[in-house]
Amino acid sequence: DAGVTQSPTHLIKTRGQHVTLRCSPISGHKSVSWYQQVLGQGPQFIFQYYEKEERGRGNFPDRFSARQFPNYSSELNVNALLLGDSALYLCASSLGPGQGIPYEQYFGPGTRLTVT
């Protein structure tokens, strides 16, 4: 079975531009989470979506938004890009919140965003 897929792999944008990143979860997974990882740090939680509803939001500005589609794929949008948005953007999928204990999450290969 295919794992989590993300597109594009790499992206170079200019300050002030907008970017859309895409993620397809593992088949059968209904939950998608987005993380930002800057060099030398652990990933930071941005959003979680389950069954097309937002279930969690991290400490990121309103320039960041996301949505989940009926096929459980997801998009992350970032407006008015800043140099500090340069990072590896990771998508993770899971079966969902589970019955009391969250299921484990599996990461895609990531999108490397460079803002110049």
Partner 1 sequence: QKEVEQNSGPLSVPEGAIASLNCTYSDRGSQSFFWYRQYSGKSPELIMFIYSNGDKEDGRFTAQLNKASQYVSLLIRDSQPSDSATYLCAVISNFGNEKLTFGTGTRLTIIP
Contact footprint for partner 1 (CB under 8 A): 31, 33, 35, 40-45, 48, 50, 55-56, 58, 88, 90, 92, 94, 97, 100-110
Helices (H), the chain: none
The one-character DSSP state at 75 is E
Using the minimum distance from each CB to partner 1, give the nearer residue, 15 or 52. 52
CA angle 79, 12, 21 (to 5 degrees): 50
CA distance linking residue 97 with residue 88, whole number of Å = 25
Residue closer to partner 1 by CB (options 50, 115) is 50
> Least distance from C-beta 28 to partner 1, angstroms?
16
